[in-house]
Structure 1
């Protein structure tokens, strides 16, 4: 189906380049790839064969992502009508529209055999390789004559959004924010470990781990550690998980050995800010006062709590335009914008693995790990607000919804039903 292939192409372009390419329009920045994807995805969905009326996907949507996406589209509209905000606030519609368009691909999975795993692999490799090259350049393993133009492109892209925001000591991939790249890399690890197979899984895991380390995002380091603990515990209980773990380690061992013998790993390790690691350990031991950056964030969250008293139902408008500063906490940001309603919708989304299991969909482990990444990352950033950074999570959900649900007999076979 040509329109479906074109839609997927624009989806991948949006994931990769929305931070680097946009068109100024009516006072805002338009993600042209994302808008094209939305239109083509809806057209593809309308042209696909109708699914059975017994499908549980609409109920699943209503019990998971539906309320959050509805409020993310409704609140800016109310902000324009009630708070007399500018029409450019309607750009906020693009985020829920892109998420909804991605979830609509679940019909293409069933009708046309669309392989979500292949779609996810393309940006995993592109972001991962670019981020790895950024790390190698900082380690002086790639000469300036080769990577200099790309390094300058990184700086120009960051300055386009904020003249004072330039990061040169951390990898960002094709994003412009190192923390976004760190969360994306954690999702790449989850996506590769649970949905990919064979060499593809190894490549995805390697690039994901390399991205987490290169981003130097302390939150991403913690999330990666939690994922490893999850698999260690699961491997001890399930033979298949243990076999996969051993196989992946065996395939990565030659790469590690080569890096150690050539001295490449030592050069890359020198680029990791040891003080950032020490800061994580100090916070665990002494509390937030041990880290000035985290302490400033916590103070800002307290200010938001006080400020929100004047808005019992939320500001309606994006917090950055009302509060006067960026709130790098998804829970606090949603509470300020939509009060308990928007925050509750976000918590409902985080509970989605329970809903998937109750309705008999496969892929519970994948979704539990995706929720883990988003829930922990949301403490120090706003993962839902960046579709590109969280897109692998939405693609994983699309893959699960598009797969064949377990029958009652299958549920009994797996011990879910008595």
Structure 2
């Protein structure tokens, strides 16, 4: 078994994704997902050696899941366990202090905790995963690396990241747009560079990460110059359970006139809104596609498409007329031909013409162009691979310090 393996952990509020990646062979030896954590329906799924497994773990949390991972899954794969040279963690928010990946120590943990108020659904879960990994892999305690979702967006100009609030709120408290999904936007930019045959430094894109969380980024000459998520991951597009853009006075109205507490308002805008809030049935985009003929479901789909097309159109003005392509990624972006067609049809003024056959065939981890050959501009589908980016950045940092 090769020794140059990286364990990647992506801890969500109720989930834990994990994979072991060998960068020399560009091979994923193991991958899995624990979901519905802290509930009676907790379960873990993984793939190893071409075989898929599922195990129910009622009421498991992050720590017990990682313990199961080490004591059950890896216990029978000692060569795989001993091959791990470092652990890479996806961390949602690094604040202004961390503009790139960093070795995790007590100071880093304190800073991640400090900016948790900016990403309350993500950073606390990331920290739980980090601490559980350090406990379960004591020999690798000093080889844990944080890779931040905000890092790619540290190139935003002030015109993009400052809010029109009293400036001291930024100066004293760091209230500004930070942006998220940066690992995914960075990866698909690199892949688009290969697909289009242009160096990243010459590439102008609008990348759309569309899943339960959704964001759009304008990339100019390989750098993020604007992005839809802001101070927290709630700003921007409508999402599975999040509102996206919202008149701030609505929040005051909910508290002052409906008597909702700040926590109740937070729950509403983060976990009870978006697709779920409008349909009152589901947060799953696939349901919208399957039931689009039903009036209220159809309206929800139209709202999603409207907001996405509006962002893409607006961001096209930031690229000096040199937009090379739109990229669709994420669970929805990669798999919903319906969404891609509807959005591109709204953007025909920008020169996009859908190749219906190519678009319909682009599902299931396929990468390619979905616009006609004679279209003025291209649209691409590129499956994201955040785990690979985390592994690469972890490996580079570890090698830099020669630990």
Q: Which structure has the highest strand share of the two?
A: 2
Q: TM-score range by the shorter chain?
A: under 0.3
Q: Which structure has the highest helix share of the two?
A: 1
TM-score, with normalisation over the residues of structure 2?
Answer: 0.26
TM-score, with normalisation over the residues of structure 1?
Answer: 0.25
